Structure 1
């Protein structure tokens, strides 16, 4: 008997498994193994696809953005501190999935907006804008931005710093906007773009500047905001606007209270809370009625309720940064409270946080401010450009708020919701007391 006959006889024998012949059983086993391998390969590919980010322009076409409730894309890895989901009352602050080119590190773009001259906007002749993405902000094309800003021309510039430029633009639907063009030559510009789109894109509050959309084409990274007519607070406090400031005491109190409400929303109404990290007068914009809108969230960090702080590289502006953050790098909402306290002092006095042109002992605002209050020189703290002095009791209450916010011990500083109560009480005092 030949070898082939022997093999044929053995493989043709029936087995105890359903009476199947041996060769049939082997074929079934091999087929099952191959099917299992193919299934595992498909599973791995699906997981890899989920993890890999898609470009911004593919979000809508891929079906990732289709309505307000189901948008749940993931962050790119450049934003290390952002957690998967931020919730607010009655709506969700969603993350944005953006694939962008790598860049080197840089500092924050400080948008220095000049006030509007009051001119009526000229027609630019742009075509009708594309329909907005449902449930989210719009992605503008570079062509739309160029038409709106007259080719990013110098005449459209309303603010300029070493790290970027802000332009005034008119869209095809006659909406006036402010376009922040980030200098995309560093990693910080990349982070700022992603953080602002993610954090402020879904947050809506009357005291927070509204982000309408963005442009990400090639090396361009642009953020499109609502246009705020009266520029920033820094301009009206520290530039030459005449002998009498248009910022009356009541307007200044409204600015302080509105800014406090915006920060309280970020700290107390969101989970995780948003730490702005760069509260200063140039980041507080003023609308036509002098109502404040906190802007520039490029340095913002998120902090989950179960954490007391997040450790990060120290960033911010000299004179506004909390001392404990400078020393340790540990950031929480009390760092924003400290910066807010400096802004309150700035609004009351009309002085810069650090002014090297002043006499010794007056260079640092917080030191001078504390000394004046200790000596009960309350009226001398008030900006001499005010047209009318406030009521003394109201002034004392606001001075107290400022000093509490800059307490060297961060744990002794009030939360923003408590600050709002104290400021509202000061407003009541001001209405019932005569000016100084």
Structure 2
């Protein structure tokens, strides 16, 4: 405004000189106050980066030696916060190694979309690694801390990662199949942790990996999947690896493998080919014979049987190969002799065995059920495209009436409660404690004597058949191991006196359905950015169920009423895994269809078939709710608008119609350029034919890209809040903003 007035004054020669001088003086003052970059109140740093760093600072207990940092506001790039590097308005590096930091990593690191380097090694950071990490990192170093839990699945999406060091922590559980997309990774260090289980198949796809450090863990199984990697350094010392050391390892310059349980000598030749038995097709993974049979535990391959670390040389491997050939041949002949002389009783046993036993090969006849299960897991194809779960979710069938039979062989990680304790916590399941009701039963708020609050789902016993009651503990065993920040965690259960109760973490800010459709002014809390986070968070929850868990878990009842919101409006998907208990009685099915009809995919309504693609359809309906603020079915509207999907779908590619569909509660405050992309994702999800709907992992990637584009718009926009907002029609005359 000052610049425009300046041009007018200078271009008018008729004005007196003293007036022109006064005007120029005023303009100079205005220029100092409003035109100087130093006087601009707006932060030079992207607001999302500022917010993420503020949360991180608070999570680290606000250490005073992080000079410049603050938990709220501030300008990291302009004020040169300690350890922060910027490029323009974007934070590109956080390097705070060895500063004695004590705390956690917070929950907003994923907001740092331009971050390339994160080095917080050599501190005292504890608890788990956040599930959602900065997606575009090339360098991640969290070594020498006190981190626990497992490796987050979000590493799977960090396709630019070149260096990953999580060594010297307390990480545990099995390493998930999370490395398939990390084609740029050159160095991986997971040493000195408590990691267990076999190595994931996706390690074999790291074509650019040169250094791998796995020493001092509790890893098991063979090493065949590492044989074809072009490694220069491999340290696998002091684990529980078994089988034979691949001959290809003799070419690795720096190899340390002592302190394991490798078999002596070379691997024997493979057994004669046995045609695989016919199996039902499993889309998640295929099974194939193992590359190398497993040998018995024996002393390590190296002569250093005192667990000292020694390098393997090419000469030592070659010598043992030559010296042990005759011994291996004798072993093969002995095995063939034993098989030939097996008693006929084994054939009778096989005829009466379960399908899984009947399909086993001859060499597995002596194995126990557990050994056979482990063998099937080890023979999963290396080319499987589905990532393995962080923890194998294989459970045994539960037998006995009323679910009172023996428990699953796989332990239930949730705690067991008595009916009396749950009655006390819910005031005998009083009406005042009732917070919700679904097709399987009611949900109560429970406050225990220690002050902790949980949600209790009381399963309606009339809704379960005898078989479903017997399956209850099996379902609990599966649900108790679901671990994802956007999934409501099952923490306990009860099976006393014929009761079936589930104890969940308590999310106390209501459901997405209520916040969108019922609560006064709550729609205003759900800004466009909050709705995007809800969509992405719930999509990631479905991705975990569909593509991390094996076999895939279908939610089957995905709707906004099953999306709980916490105080920060982060979404938490409930009822995950309850499909195993979904009743099959005519009464209950009709109840469920009525309750969720607006979300049901066409194939379910027509044939009762429900797959992961049906979940994707239901997710598209929830996205429509987020976009429009309307219910999936609303009998109060005109007949042509009562079904949300039928009304909205034809308009999703019409820009003008799309702008009119947006939830009025947003008051026009949304980035207009994101609107059509959001609608494109919806249109794909609600395709009538399931084969044309994308897998949920593709939906996640599209939503991530959408948020990244929105972030770039915020950085480049001159608007006060960083968005190019759609302006309501009644305000068009008041402004000339374009979008």
Normalised TM-score (structure 2)? 0.40
| TM-aligned CA distance change 1:186 to 1:87, over 3 Å | farther
* Equivalenced residues, count: 322
Distance 1:231 1:96 in 2: 35
For residues 402 and 255 of structure 1, what CA distance do their matches in structure 2 show? 14
Match of 1:180 in 2: 457
Alpha-carbon offset, residue 321 of structure 1: 1.1
Match of residue 693 from structure 2: 413
Answer whether contact 1:181 1:222 (CA < 8 A) is retained. yes
Superposed, 1:218-297 pairs within 5 Å as 218-242=497-521, 245-297=524-576
Alignment RMSD? 3.3
| Inter-partner Cα distance in structure 2 for 1:390 and 1:228 | 27
Equivalent residue number for residue 326 of structure 1: 605
Aligned to 1:166: 443
CA contact (8 A) 1:323 1:408 kept: yes
1:354 counterpart (611, 633, 637): 633
Q: In the alignment, is the contact (CA less than 8 A) between 1:193 and 1:298 conserved in 2?
A: no
The answer on whether the counterparts of 1:277 and 1:301 sit within 8 Å (CA) in structure 2 is no
Residue 173 of structure 1: CA displacement? 3.2
Instruction: Return the match for 2:389 from 79, 84, 89.
Output: 89
| CA–CA distance in structure 1, aligned partners of residues 501 and 436 of structure 2 | 14
1:138 corresponding residue in structure 2: 415
Contact kept in structure 1, 2:400 and 2:470, CA below 8 Å: no
Distance of 2:640 and 2:709 partners within structure 1: 32
Q: Normalising by the residue count of structure 1, what TM-score does the alignment of the two structures yield?
A: 0.66
Give the structure 2 partner of residue 402 of structure 1: 682
CA distance in 1, matches of 2:471, 2:693: 28
- How far apart in 2 are the matches of 1:322 and 1:289? 31
Whole-angstrom distance in 2 between the partners of 1:191 and 1:361: 46
Indicate conservation of the 8 Å contact 1:193/1:223, yes or no: no
Matching of residue 385 in structure 1 with residue 670 in structure 2 = no
Instruction: Show the 5 A alignment for 1:419-434.
Output: 419-431=699-711, 432=713, 434=724
Per-residue deviation, 1:163:
5.2
Aligned to 1:209, what secondary structure does the other structure show? coil
Give the match's secondary structure for 1:273. coil
From the superposition, tell whether residues 298 and 91 of structure 1 become closer, same or farther in structure 2 (CA, over 3 Å). Answer: closer
Structure 2 residue 735 is matched with structure 1 residue 435 = no
CA contact (8 A) 1:276 1:301 kept: no
Q: Is the 8 A contact 1:178 1:226 kept in 2?
A: yes
Gap regions ≥5 residues in structure 2: 1-344, 355-369, 374-385, 404-409, 582-588, 714-722, 727-739
Say if 1:195 and 1:344 are closer, same or farther in 2 by CA, change over 3 A: farther
CA distance in 1, matches of 2:702, 2:643: 26
Does 2:492 match 1:213? yes
**Structure 1 residues 219 and 301, CA gap change in structure 2 (3 angstroms):** closer
| Residues 163/345 of structure 1: CA separation in 2 closer, same or farther (3 Å cut) | same
Q: Given the alignment, which residue of 605, 612, 624 partners 1:345?
A: 624
Q: Is the 8 A contact 2:479 2:577 kept in 1?
A: no
SS of 2:665's equivalent?
coil
In structure 2, what is the Cα distance between the partners aligned to 1:146 and 1:297? 24
> For structure 1, which runs of at least 5 residues remain unmatched after alignment?
1-38, 49-68, 73-85, 104-132, 303-312
CA–CA separation in structure 2 for the residues paired with 1:271 and 1:418: 19
State yes or no: 1:154 paired with 2:444.
Answer: no
Corresponding residue number in structure 2 for 1:64: none
Q: Residues 161 and 418 of structure 1: is their aligned pair in 2 closer, same or farther, counting only changes over 3 Å?
A: closer
Q: Is this contact kept in 2: 1:404–1:412, CA < 8 A?
A: yes
Moved over 6 A (4+): none
Distance 1:263 1:151 in 2: 34
